[in-house]
Amino acid sequence: MNRRDMLKLSSYVVAAASAPAVVASAEAPGAAGGSIARWDFVEIDLPGPSSGNPYIDIEVSATFRYQHRAIHVNGFYDGEGSYKIRFMPDEVGAWNWTTASNAQALDGKTGTFECVAQAAGNRGPVEVRDSFHFGYADGTPFVECGTTCYAWAFQAEQTQRETIQTLTTSPFNKLRMCLFPKWYQYNRSEPPMYPFPRSGDVNDYSRFTPAYFQHLDHLILELRGIGVQADLILFHPYDKWGYQSMPPEVDDRYLRYVIARFSAFRNVWWSLANEFDLLKSKTNADWDRYARIVEEFDPSSHLRSIHYSRSPYDYSRGWCTHAGIQDSHMDRAAGWRIDWRKPVVFDECRYEGDIASRWGSLSGDGMTRRFWLTAAQGTYCGHGETYIWPDNILWWSHGGVLHGTSPKKIAFLRKLLEETIAVGPGPIGFTSIGEDPYGARRSNNSVLFYYFDDQQPAVQNYNLPEGKTYTAEYVDTIALTRTPLPGEYTGKVEVKLPGTPWGSLCFREKGVA
């Protein structure tokens, strides 16, 4: 065994050993065999200098090569003399890599690995599909259905375990979470660790706390293991420690560090901020710079967006892949689709709960309604939950368990969407009809889908697309019933409906959808 082989082997062994249990058991591809599943990640772990300040002094990267492609990937220092370079291969076949560093011990190392087909359940990262929608890299539609546990990473271990358990049986397939600890109402405790070494009130921004970020590795991979996208919030204003107003060079180093650590995890999304406009010390130029850094340093090009409070962001900007808005005017969705030509996600439209704040006292049916309103405009909604609960554990920020009535109803909607309008393979584009009763359809007209909101028509007339025969299903979005309507529908049709509010109607082309 020559030195190159040793390196290669050690990197896989380390990768497998350091990966959390969920990953290891779910897919952990042959550390022994020198192969890695597509959309899993390799981790090159190199011993190097631990003296001086490795975070600043040492640069390490690798170029990963597959046939004609060469992909540059930055590594990061993980403490105790350990330098890591992580990479998510996206092609099955033979890959090789070469490192580069200003430290001799890390420079010019090489290796190879075989990327093999992914196992069931690994669908790859989520991407934009058909302009307005999302899909996994393997082609499966991704019906975005998000929730928030902003500060779950900083809660008691038991709560973190509960959060994963809750998500396992919830309809939510994306979780917004902060990388920095949170200080806000209901969030008034010190985190168990700090991202930078901290002495009293002083942060040592020249270094990171490896254990802090290793813990985040673990949580993101836990989410990966249960099929939940981790929508990572890079900056936020709910802060008492100084992370909202660090020097620019620290911001940038922090961004490069978390990108190097997390971008090999296929379930990562980047959210530049929660309520960016409340970070008063940052300018538009700062946000532009952060966006460029995320674009430039993430070799896997994960989805990117930003979330605002009162100043709507211009989501037509080139760097962002989708709109991640905060608004509760759900009827604006269709217009924004037209404006931005991107997926529109209402990452925040208030939360189901009963707290005093208006953003956290939405009824369960009010939350559910917002999901229907967005779905019927070919857009997406986000959930959160703020019921006052013993020990002040509110799902919205802490995770734990869900108490509300909307998740069950949202699950019903997601299942309906996945079975109808988003069914694959084939085009999954919604086409908003642009006026209510809110209506969407698949671009090939194989599915037409309407939501009646607080309207209660006893009859509706449709002029169905030519040359197609449809079956119809009436959906009660509150009672959670799906009732096939008798007969078949072609051309101009009159459909009798129950004349009750909160209904939906779905036409499916016979023999197709």
- Please report, as residue ranges, which positions from 446 to 505 form the binding site for its own copies (by CB under 8 A): 452, 454-461, 494, 499-501
Q: Report the residue from 354, 418, 419, 476 that binds its own copies according to the rule CB under 8 A.
A: 354
The structure tokens 């204003």 sit at 237
Q: Does 301 engage in binding with its own copies (CB under 8 A)?
A: no
CB of 429 to its own copies, least distance (A): 24
- Exposed, middle or buried: residue 120 (CB in 10 Å: 0-12, 13-18, 19+)? exposed
Give the shortest CB-454-to-its own copies separation in angstroms: 3
As measured in angstroms, the least distance from the Cβ of 364 to its own copies is 8
- Give 436's DSSP letter: S
> 380 vs 462, which CB is nearer to its own copies?
462
Type of residue found at 449: F
Closest approach, Cβ 450 to its own copies, in A, equals 10
Partners of 273 in beta bridges: 235
Closer residue to its own copies in complex, CB, 319/359: 359
363 scored as a contact of its own copies (CB under 8 A)? yes
Listed in sequence order, the residues at least 6 apart from 155 whose beta carbon sits closer than 8 Å to its beta carbon are 163, 393, 398, 399, 400
Determine which residue in the list 285, 358, 390, 425 makes contact with its own copies, applying CB under 8 A. Answer: 358
> Is the bond into 343 cis (omega within 30 degrees of 0)?
no
Amino acid residing at 165 = Q
* Vertex 359 angle, CA 358 and 363, to 5°: 80
Q: Which of 82, 301, 361, 443 binds its own copies (CB under 8 A)?
A: 361
- Does 335 bind its own copies (CB under 8 A)? Our answer is no
Closest approach, Cβ 369 to its own copies, in A, equals 7
In three-state secondary structure terms, 233 is strand
- Cβ proximity to its own copies: between 20 and 501 the closer is 501
Q: Give min distance, CB of 89 to its own copies, in A.
A: 47
In the complex, the smallest distance separating the C-beta of residue 8 from its own copies, rounded to whole angstroms, is 58
Q: 324 has which bridge partners?
A: 345
Phi, psi angle pair for 329, to nearest 5°: -95, 85
Cβ proximity to its own copies: between 239 and 436 the closer is: 436
The order of strands in the sheet holding 60-66 is: 35-37, 110-116, 93-101, 60-66, 69-74
Q: Which of 18, 74, 77, 10 is nearest to 50 (CA)?
A: 77
**Footprint on residues 312-331 left by its own copies (CB under 8 A):** 329, 331
Interface residue with its own copies, options 16, 100, 116, 388 (CB under 8 A) = 388
Give the pairing of strands 110-116 and 35-37: parallel
State the binding string over 406-445 for its own copies (x if CB under 8 A, else -): -----------------------------xxx--------
Smallest separation, CB 502 to its own copies (Å): 8
Give min distance, CB of 452 to its own copies, in A: 8
209 near 195, Cβ under 8 Å? Answer: yes
Cβ-based neighbour number of residue 155 at 10 Å: 21
| Torsional class of 493: left (φ above 0), alpha (ψ -120 to 50), beta (otherwise) | beta
**Residue 356 binding its own copies, by CB under 8 A:** yes
- Find the part of the chain contacting its own copies (CB under 8 A) among 164-172, 276-284, 311-319, 350-358: 350-358
Over the range 490-501, which residues count as b (16 or more CB within 10 Å of their CB) and which as e? eeebebebeeee
Distance between CA atoms of residues 248 and 261, nearest Å: 20
The window from 62-70, 97-105, 360-368, 441-449 that contacts its own copies (CB under 8 A) reads 360-368
Q: Cβ closer to its own copies: 117 or 458?
A: 458
Choice from 236, 282, 304, 369 touching its own copies (CB under 8 A): 369
Of the pair 79, 366, the CB lying nearest its own copies is at: 366
Tell me whether residue 160 or residue 368 sits nearer to its own copies (CB atom): 368
Q: Does position 365 bind its own copies by CB under 8 A?
A: yes
For the stretch 433-438, contacts whose Cβ atoms lie closer than 8 Å and that sit 24 or more positions apart, written own/partner, are: 434/334, 436/331, 437/376, 438/334, 438/372, 438/373, 438/376, 438/377
Binding site for its own copies (CB under 8 A): 329, 331, 350, 353-358, 361-363, 365-366, 369, 388, 435-437, 452, 454-461, 494, 499-501
